[in-house]
Amino acid sequence: MDVTLGIIGGSGLYELPGLQGEWETIESPWGEPSDQVLRGTLDGTRMVFLPRHGRGHGLDPTGINYRANIDVMKRAGVTDLVSLSACGSLREDLPPGMFVIVDQFIDRTFARPKSFFGNGCVAHVSMAHPVSRDLGDRVEAAAKVVGVPVRRGGTYLAMEGPQFSSLAESQLYRAWGADVIGMTNMPEAKLAREAEIAYATVAMVTDFDSWHPEHGEVDIMSIIATMTQNADAARNLVATLAAATPPTREPCSTGSDMALETAIITTPEARDPALLAKLDAVAGRVLSRS
């Protein structure tokens, strides 16, 4: 499979210096994505960049059209997608400045469409292993080359927002075994899985949420300062990742590129043509066989 690397930039990461290309509009039947995409090459690697909150950060976590974002990345040919996200830490050993390559999620969002599928074409993809191990390996190697403090593995709790956690919530999430907390990786990870895109998350710690007795409530000014430092490190990580990305790759070892193989259960004659038309990019590989 030919590789096109996609990058979704979170808070503080609205552009990608070094990516040679043009901003372009890609239309989606799922509505308006967060912004145009910057499509081009970086160190010989085909890449597509999308700022999750839009340039200027005009979108809050609930207002992001996650379905349109993933759909336009798929239409742009993205095969491997790295999500860069600011987050809070729920662990003493994950201080601000630490990068966590997440491998599990707890979804506590409730006000966002979470699937491309539904009445008229029902599908159930497995989320047991929601991220690509192979892509995570490449991200981890790049982080180590750059010298970013990185931890491989961790559980990301996605909350609705836009408010930060109460103390009671923060303590509850720690008791559940979550490692970091953020507002944007769900339903993004679920939708990437449905679109058969290999997905990896780099959760960039900015604060200790509200549980830490020595840090108290979240301070937005401190977050912004750390976020700026993290964004600089993230740009270096992406450049290193691009340089090390092979032009082709083997099938994903965690099945990201085949997630829909047996997921659609609606019989062909019962499928809604209008919904099928919207699924042309996301599920075209399997729907074309029906």
166 is in an annotated binding site: no
Find the angle CA(242)-CA(247)-CA(248) to the nearest 5 degrees: 130
183 is in an annotated binding site: yes
209: Cβ contacts below 8 Å, ≥ 6 apart: 88, 89, 90, 164, 165, 170, 173, 181, 218
49 is in an annotated binding site: no
73 is in an annotated binding site: no
Per the annotation, the verdict on 2 as an active-site residue is: no
Q: Could you tell me how many residues make up the chain?
A: 290
Nearest Cα to 278, choosing from 287, 270, 269? Answer: 287
45 is in an annotated binding site: no
Place of tokens 């720690």: 174
Per the annotation, the verdict on 103 as an active-site residue is: no
Query: Which one of 207, 232, 272, 280 is the catalytic residue?
Result: 207
Q: 241 and 131 in contact (C-beta within 8 Å)? A: no
User: Using CB atoms within 10 A of its CB, is residue 214 exposed (0-12), middle (13-18) or buried (19+)?
Assistant: exposed
103 is in an annotated binding site: no
Query: Which one of 107, 209, 219, 232 is the catalytic residue?
Result: 209
Place of tokens 């292993």: 129
52 is in an annotated binding site: yes
152 is in an annotated binding site: no
Structure tokens, 238? 């992406």
CA-to-CA distance for 34 and 69, rounded, in angstroms?
7
Known binding-site positions: 11, 52-53, 85-86, 183-184, 207-209
Residues of the binding site for substrate: 183, 207-209
Q: Which residues are catalytic?
A: 207, 209
Residues belonging to the binding site for phosphate are 11, 52-53, 85-86, 184
